[in-house]
Amino acid sequence: MRKRLASALLFALPGLAWAQPASYTIDPVHTRVAFRVMHAGLSPSIGTLSGPTGRIVFDEDDIAASRVEVEIPLARLDMGDAGWNRKVLRDFLDADAHPVARFRSTAIRPVSDTLWQVEGELELAGARAPVTLLTILNAHKRHPLTLRKTLGLQASADLSRRALGIDAWPSLVGDSVHLDIAIEAVRSGDTTGEDTP
């Protein structure tokens, strides 16, 4: 009886290991945040933030069990002009005191197999606010160049800057901020292939 039980466990263990959630490392080169906010009621001012780090724990059998943690260095802000970069970092983001933005998911709610609502908390400029990212799974496959198992995602959200205490220049800069995010994440420990652009 014991031998039969041991044999059954040996056959079951590979399947159990395969079913475990996998950890994916955010690729800082191919992950970027773009945002826009109205400027003086005239046009949307557009900026980007690059170089994020973090991880996605992805459970393809139970998306709701997945989770996300990301850190974004604010020094990588690009508004298209050095003076505008400095003003936004100083007057809006208080980046000297709070140089990193963070997002941690609190719940992931599947809408379909490839569309999810990722709920979480955004920490920015010394404050925290809830944010829901509407997230699309573009692909979960081996990268055609590196051959590494890779997640490809895009996400969007709208948030109030005042909810984060970012209330400078209210008559010139809008309150609603739209985010568009491109994400690639590589399965941790997967060293197949070569590093490529």
DSSP string, 22-47: EEEEE-SSS-EEEEEEEETTTEEEEE
pLDDT tens digits along 146-184:
999 999 999 999 999 999 999 999 999 999 999 999 999
Section 121-140 average pLDDT: 97
Contacts of residue 84, defined as CB under 8 A and 6 or more positions apart, other chains included, come to: none
Better pLDDT: 100 or 11: 100
Range of lowest pLDDT (89-93, 142-146, 189-193) = 189-193
**What value does the mean pLDDT take over residues 95-114?**
97
* Better-scored residue on pLDDT, 4 or 124: 124
Return d(Cα 179, Cα 160) in angstroms, integer. 11
Q: Which domain holds residue 51?
A: 20-187
HSE at residue 10, side-chain half, CA atoms within 13 A, is: 6
pLDDT of residue 129: 97
pLDDT surpasses 70 at 107:
yes
> Does residue 122 form part of some domain?
yes
What SS3 class is residue 172? coil
Distance CA 130, CA 104 (A): 10
d(Cα 18, Cα 40) in Å, to the nearest integer? 53
Residue 5 placed within a domain: no
Is residue 19's pLDDT more than 90?
Answer: no
Look at residue 194 and tell me if it is in a domain.
no
Whether residue 3 is contained in a domain is answered as no
Please name which of 84, 68, 85, 67 lies closest in space to residue 76, comparing C-alpha atoms: 85
What's the CATH number where 115 sits?
Answer: 2.40.128.110
pLDDT, tens only, 67-81: 999 999 999 999 999
| Residue at 9 is within a domain | no
Is residue 80 in some structural domain?
yes
Task: Tell me: pLDDT of 1 over 70.
Answer: no
* Within a domain: 162: yes
Please write the tens of the pLDDT for every residue from 24-69. 999 999 999 999 999 999 999 999 999 999 999 999 999 999 999 9
Only one residue has tokens 């983001």, namely: 93
pLDDT at 140 over 70: yes
d(CA 101, CA 97): 11
In this predicted structure, what is the pLDDT of residue 95?
A: 97
Q: For residue 179, give the nearest of 125, 133, 130, 128 by alpha carbon.
A: 133
DSSP count for the chain of H helices, then E strands:
2, 11
Question: CA dihedral defined by 106, 168, 183, 145, rounded to 10 degrees?
Answer: -150
Confidence (pLDDT) at 193: 55
Indicate yes or no: pTM above 0.75: yes
Q: What is the pLDDT of residue 181?
A: 98
What is the total count of domains within the chain?
1
- Answer whether residue 165 is part of any domain: yes
